[in-house]
């Protein structure tokens, strides 16, 4: 199974990272391993390893500038400054990093006042015409593999082997931690029955697997995204992709659950960034 495109939602306000994220987008916050890389770099690296050729960033105008600054052409004024300092090796290394991804990038600006995890794939629909499958990759968390392997690649393989309509990625956690997440209800065939959002602990099994907001979706999901986006919201409610998934399940569509093999990293909170930095510093990738 060949998946060419990943949609990456990066339009969140990042309130858990304030005050820093009032000036800098949360997906650009650094993880301090043997080098300093933004969270989004690990997510894009996983896409490259899975054979993805195009990444569609759904972000803000400010976020687009940051992404182009990191993945696009090296800024001329920065290159001039480095040349003046005789930092030729840094210039060449940085240019090679940017070339090495081999990806096409597209940008969709998420309108202000429109929030929720179902909104980015809804905005990306026109960009996905002609493709019957795509990846929807969470905005600030990822699976880290010390051997440099791609978790998305494994998820796509599990999807193909199962022959389901879609695939959803999950992470096993301790029972008392699962109350903070959407818990995946799974049958004996490792297929999804439903998603229970932040349930009380008495509703959680002894070995819970939680949603990490990364999915492989076929075009069969698009009508349910449209239905969700047309739904009138209650006060303080948002359009969530989990509503879309539960509606698709009810209609008879199937989701294979891929339990990640790597270490789950949450780049959306200060404690998560600290834990990711500590782990990655002590467990550097063998292919870098």
What residues contact 159, with CB distance under 8 A and at least 6 apart? 1, 166, 167, 216, 256, 258
Cross-strand pairs, 141? 266
Q: Which of 51-60, 130-139, 166-175 has the lowest mean pLDDT?
A: 130-139
* Maximum C-alpha span of the chain: 64
Question: What pLDDT band is residue 81 in, cutting at 50, 70 and 90?
Answer: very high
- Return the CATH class of domain 5-282: alpha beta
pLDDT value at residue 140 = 81
Pairing of strands 182-186, 255-259: unpaired
pLDDT value at residue 2 = 84
Average pLDDT over residues 161-186: 94
pLDDT value at residue 21 = 66
> How many Å apart are CA 31 and CA 40, to the nearest integer?
10
pLDDT value at residue 233 = 85
Higher pLDDT, 71 or 26: 71
Question: What pLDDT band is residue 269 in, cutting at 50, 70 and 90?
Answer: confident
Average pLDDT over residues 271-278: 93
Average pLDDT over residues 29-44: 92
pLDDT value at residue 14 = 64
Contact 223, 165 (CB under 8 A): no
pLDDT value at residue 13 = 66
User: Which pLDDT tens digit goes with each residue over 215-257?
Assistant: 999 999 999 999 999 998 888 888 999 999 999 999 999 999 9
The mean pLDDT of the chain is: 92
Task: Judge whether residue 180 has pLDDT over 90.
Answer: no
Task: Please report, for the chain, the start and end positions of each structural domain, with discontinuous segments joined by +.
Answer: 5-282
Average pLDDT over residues 193-221: 92
Query: In this structure, what token pair is assigned to residue 67?
Result: 């992404």
User: Which pLDDT tens digit goes with each residue over 1-20?
Assistant: 789 999 999 977 666 767 76
pTM for this structure? 0.93
Question: What pLDDT band is residue 112 in, cutting at 50, 70 and 90?
Answer: confident
Task: Judge whether residue 139 has pLDDT over 80.
Answer: no
């Amino acid at each position: 199974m060949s998946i060419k495109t990943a949609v990456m939602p990066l339009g969140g306000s990042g309130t858990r990272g304030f005050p820093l994220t009032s000036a800098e987008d949360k997906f650009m916050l650094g993880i301090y391993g043997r080098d300093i890389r933004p969270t989004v770099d690990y997510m894009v690296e996983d896409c490259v390893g899975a054979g993805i050729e195009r990444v569609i960033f759904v972000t803000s105008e400010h976020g687009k500038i940051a992404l182009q600054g990191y993945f696009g052409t090296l800024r001329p004024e920065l290159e001039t400054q480095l040349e003046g300092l005789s930092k030729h090796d840094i210039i060449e290394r940085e240019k090679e990093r940017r070339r090495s991804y081999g990806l096409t990038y597209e940008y969709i600006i998420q309108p202000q006042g429109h929030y929720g995890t179902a909104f980015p794939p809804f905005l990306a629909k026109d960009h996905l015409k002609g493709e019957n499958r795509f990846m929807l990759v969470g905005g600030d968390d990822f699976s880290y593999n010390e051997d440099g392997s791609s978790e998305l690649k494994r998820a796509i393989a599990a999807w193909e082997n199962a022959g389901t309509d879609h695939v959803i990625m999950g992470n096993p956690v301790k029972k008392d931690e699962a109350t903070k997440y959407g818990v995946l209800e799974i049958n004996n065939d490792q297929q999804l029955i439903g998603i229970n959002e932040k349930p009380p602990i008495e509703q959680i099994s002894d070995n819970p697997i939680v949603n990490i907001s990364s999915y492989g979706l076929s075009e069969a999901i698009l009508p349910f995204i449209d239905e969700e986006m047309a739904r009138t919201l209650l006060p303080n409610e948002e359009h969530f992709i989990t509503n879309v998934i539960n509606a698709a399940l009810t209609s008879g569509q199937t989701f294979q659950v891929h339990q990640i093999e790597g270490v789950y990293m949450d780049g959306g909170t200060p404690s998560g960034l600290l834990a990711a930095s500590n782990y990655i510093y002590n467990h550097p990738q063998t292919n870098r």
